[in-house]
Amino acid sequence: MEALLDRFLRYVAIDTQSDEESETQPSAAKELDLLRLLRDELLAMGVKAELDEYGYVMGTIPSNIAKDAPAIGFIAHVDTAPDASGKDVKPQIIENYDGSDIELKGVPGLLLKTEDFPEILAHKGETIITTDGTTLLGADDKAGVAEIMDAVQYIMSHPEFKHGEIKIGFTPDEEIGRGVVKFDVKKFGADYAYTMDGGEVGELEFENFNAASAVVKIQGRNVHPGYAKGKMLNSIHIAQEFDALLPASQRPECTEGYEGFFHLIGFKGSVEETTITYIIRDHDRAKFEEKKAVLQDCVDFINRRYVPGTATATVKDQYYNMRAEVEPHYHVVEKAMKAMEMAGVKPKVQPIRGGTDGANLSFKGLPCPNIFAGGLNFHGKMEWVPVESMQKASAVILNIISLYAE
């Protein structure tokens, strides 16, 4: 049987970065490289599995118990974030981590410092996987993919392990907010499901941000700079002014817990035209709507200050807080808590300061909390994951299955 670490290293070697500029499904053809591999590996283990036209892998392991039990699904996404390259990932494996700063050898002088990331000290003595400093690692969410496949491998090689019907799902494009847009919940066939897409060991989440994207276009007026007085409207300066209108205290670097934010994620322009992009987040639906209204107020102010049509905004909702859909089925949370305790993990129930495929799936009628995958510092070159955390996540999957089979 393949070790979990070896499986994870194989998966992160495949570039699966999604493309937010693409309109295809999946957004990048290279995501299919891993999706096809996963389908084939499931088939090779004896699991009925298929890859559909939209890039969804769905697999089924039939029940081996006589009594009725709900069908339980486990889901992870294969794509990595557009924020940093996922090509030619060169993982570093640090065995028996001693608590010191870790040199990321692909970039001279770059360190994963305990002073900046003290949470790594809780994993002294463990095997830590880091990047080499030139790419992200891909633990978000290839750790989750590897954990699910590790659990499937165990189930298929241990026929004495009792379980109800098990559903396996792998999705593309989660990182760009389109992970389950065309996911057929009825076809998937699970009564309840879990995404393996959380962070630090013990995390358990059933509430997430309400989320929207905003694209603000600033139309300037370019005039030769030698004759520009009283005529030029420099869209770059106006865009800077627009951003300064939004509350600085509601940026990601100033917020935590249940506090929402405006996050500037893109700024591109010239004197004639500038485009600025944001994501808007808040757990509270009313505050979420207020934030969208504030952004529109800023647009209106710019248009009054300059000329009508100087600023325009396109705001699109991406997903909503799944708490309202999961809480009526709270046993899915309780089962996960119990499964963690059985694995020697202390559950940490907390809100997601982000989103998962599970949010949209919950609104599609499939209650779907989120469980830790074990990685930290996602989306960048400081990403890392302990092997022991992945092993515990795989054990939690098996424990959930056992609890529902009882």
Indicate if 215 and 109 belong to the same structural domain: no
pLDDT at 35: 98
Catalytic status, residue 79: yes
Calpha distance 16→7 (Å, rounded): 16
Indicate if 393 and 383 belong to the same structural domain: yes
Domain boundary (304, 319, 334) is at 319
Catalytic status, residue 52: no
Indicate if 87 and 123 belong to the same structural domain: yes
Indicate if 16 and 67 belong to the same structural domain: yes
How does pLDDT run across 222-245, given as a tens digit for each residue? 999 999 999 999 999 999 999 999
Q: Considering 174, 205, 282, 325, which one is annotated as catalytic?
A: 174
φ/ψ (deg, to 5) at 293: -65, -40
How does pLDDT run across 356-366, given as a tens digit for each residue? 899 899 999 99
Mean pLDDT of 153-161: 97
Share above pLDDT 90 across residues of the chain, in percent, rounded to a whole number: 94
Q: Is the peptide bond before 141 cis (omega within 30 degrees of 0)?
A: yes
Indicate if 128 and 22 belong to the same structural domain: yes
SS3 state at 196: strand
Residue 1 has pLDDT above 80, yes or no: no
- On average, the pLDDT of the chain sits at 96
pTM: 0.87
pLDDT at 332: 97
How does pLDDT run across 257-274, given as a tens digit for each residue? 999 999 999 999 999 999
Indicate if 226 and 309 belong to the same structural domain: yes
How does pLDDT run across 289-327, given as a tens digit for each residue? 999 999 999 999 999 999 999 999 999 998 899 999 999
pLDDT at 298: 98
285-305 and 235-245 helices, crossing angle to 10°: 140
Share above pLDDT 70 across residues of the chain, in percent, rounded to a whole number: 100
Q: Considering 31, 79, 132, 150, which one is annotated as catalytic?
A: 79
pLDDT at 318: 87
How does pLDDT run across 53-100, given as a tens digit for each residue? 999 999 999 999 988 999 999 999 999 999 999 999 999 999 999 999
pLDDT at 182: 96
Indicate if 224 and 288 belong to the same structural domain: yes
Calpha distance 86→245 (Å, rounded): 35
Number of domains in the chain: 2
CATH code, domain with 281: 3.30.70.360
How does pLDDT run across 320-358, given as a tens digit for each residue? 999 999 999 999 999 999 999 999 999 999 998 887 899
CATH code, domain with 349: 3.40.630.10
Indicate if 151 and 203 belong to the same structural domain: yes
Alpha helix segments (H runs only) across 102-159: 139-157
Our separate counts of H helices and E strands in the chain read 10, 17
Indicate if 264 and 183 belong to the same structural domain: no
